[in-house]
C-alpha cells in the first residue's frame, strides 16, 4: 500500500481514497501515509481526496466511524483534503454504492482508462526502495 501511494504522488497524480465502512480496512488504507513519513522517512503528503460512507455514528466513542478527514492529525490526509476535498456520508453502503456507481459510470466526462495500479506494484516497490535508501 505504501509503495502504491508513494508511486501515485511521484507521478504527480495525487491520491484519492473511497472508504466504504470503517474499522480495520480504513485504518490499513490510511496508515500507509504515516508509515511513509514517520517510519520510512519518505516525504508523504497524505491523500488529496477522501470519501467515506459509513452508517455508524461517532458519539459512542468508537473509532470505526470517525471521519477519515480527522486523520490529518497523523498525516493521513493533506490539509487541503480536510478543508476542501473530504466527505463523510452517514449512510448504509448497500444503499448508496449502487447510486454512486451508476452516477460515475453514466457520466462520459468521468470515464477514463483504468490505471491498473496492482500491475505497477513492482515498479512502485522499486521506486519506494530507492527513496528509502536515499533518505537514510
**Pairwise CA distance, residues 92 & 99, whole Å:** 12
User: Residue 61 in contact with residue 99, Cβ under 8 Å?
Assistant: no
Check the CA dihedral 90-94-98-104 and report its sign: positive
117 has pLDDT over 60 = yes
> What is the chain's mean pLDDT, rounded?
82
Say what the pLDDT of residue 66 is. 66
- What pLDDT is stored for residue 61 in this prediction? 55
Rounded to two decimals, the pTM is: 0.73
Would the pLDDT of 63 be above 90? no
The C-alpha angle with vertex 99 and arms to 101 and 60, in degrees rounded to 5, equals 105
Average pLDDT over residues 61-85: 66
Q: Which option is the CATH number for 2-130: 3.40.47.10, 3.40.190.150, 1.20.120.80, 3.40.910.10?
A: 3.40.910.10
Residue 125, pLDDT > 90, answer yes
Cα 59 to Cα 92: distance, rounded to the nearest angstrom: 17
Residue-range domain boundaries for the chain = 2-130
pLDDT band at 135 (very low <50, low <70, confident <90, very high): low
CB atoms within 10 A of CB 90: 13
Convert the pLDDT of each residue in 6-35 to its tens digit: 898 888 777 888 888 877 777 788 888 888
Amino acid at each position: 500500500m505504501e509503495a502504491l501511494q508513494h508511486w501515485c504522488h511521484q507521478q504527480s497524480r495525487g491520491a484519492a481514497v473511497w472508504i466504504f465502512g470503517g474499522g480495520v480496512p480504513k485504518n490499513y488504507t490510511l496508515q500507509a501515509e504515516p508509515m511513509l513519513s514517520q517510519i520510512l522517512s519518505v516525504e508523504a503528503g497524505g491523500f488529496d481526496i477522501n470519501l467515506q460512507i459509513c452508517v455508524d455514528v461517532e458519539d459512542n466513542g468508537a473509532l470505526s466511524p470517525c471521519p477519515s478527514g480527522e486523520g490529518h492529525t497523523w498525516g493521513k490526509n493533506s490539509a487541503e483534503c480536510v478543508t476542501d476535498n473530504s466527505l463523510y456520508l452517514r449512510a448504509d453502503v448497500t444503499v448508496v454504492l449502487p447510486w454512486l456507481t451508476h452516477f460515475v459510470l453514466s457520466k462520459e466526462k468521468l470515464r477514463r482508462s483504468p490505471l491498473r495500479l496492482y500491475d505497477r506494484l513492482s515498479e512502485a516497490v522499486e521506486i519506494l526502495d530507492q527513496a528509502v535508501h536515499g533518505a537514510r
